[in-house]
Amino acid sequence: MAEISTAREVKIAGHPFVLRSSDVVRAMRRVDPEPITSHYVVVGTRRFPPKQIISALTGVDRADFTTHHARRTLIRLGFSAGRRPARTTSIASGPSRRQPAMDSLPLADRLRPFAGSWVAIRDDDVLHSTESPQELVAWLNRHGQKADSMFRVPGDELSATGLAPL
């Protein structure tokens, strides 16, 4: 079955581009996501900073466009976007904002797409996933990140219960 691709004509930093959702998926397939500071866009099962995606696709310097412009462009291409919740110990005043559905799921459910992979977790959020613990540590070092925990997500329910044969 052919993959449906959405295309949009956009101007980024004064330059016209035609961006396709299939090009985004293809371009980001082999790219490690950078750490999420606030906003993110979901490509496949991974979260990327919006500016990382647009810069990778267009070659335009990240200083030449805003996160909101990148995010809006990617949403119009059909990608889900969200904002990393602020971690605070005090109760926020004013009306509460609804978090994206993915953030409201229990961590165990959010880990399902990473079955069999090594993940780094900080503040109940998946920082990054790779195939080996060495790659994960290298990514954390390269990006100056620290994780609360690092582990391999079980590949199936039997492995998760500890009943699977070794």
pLDDT single digits (tens) 10-41: 999 999 999 999 999 999 988 889 988 889 99
pLDDT of residue 103: 57
**Which of 119, 121, 143 has the alpha carbon at shortest distance from 129?**
119
Mean confidence (pLDDT) of the chain: 81
CA 159, chain centre distance (Å)? 26
Mean pLDDT, range 59-63, rounded to an integer? 95
Nearest alpha carbon to residue 75 among 44, 108, 116, 40: 40
Tell me the domain boundaries of the chain: 7-85, 114-159
> What is the structure's pLDDT at 158?
64
Indicate if the pLDDT at residue 51 is higher than 90. yes
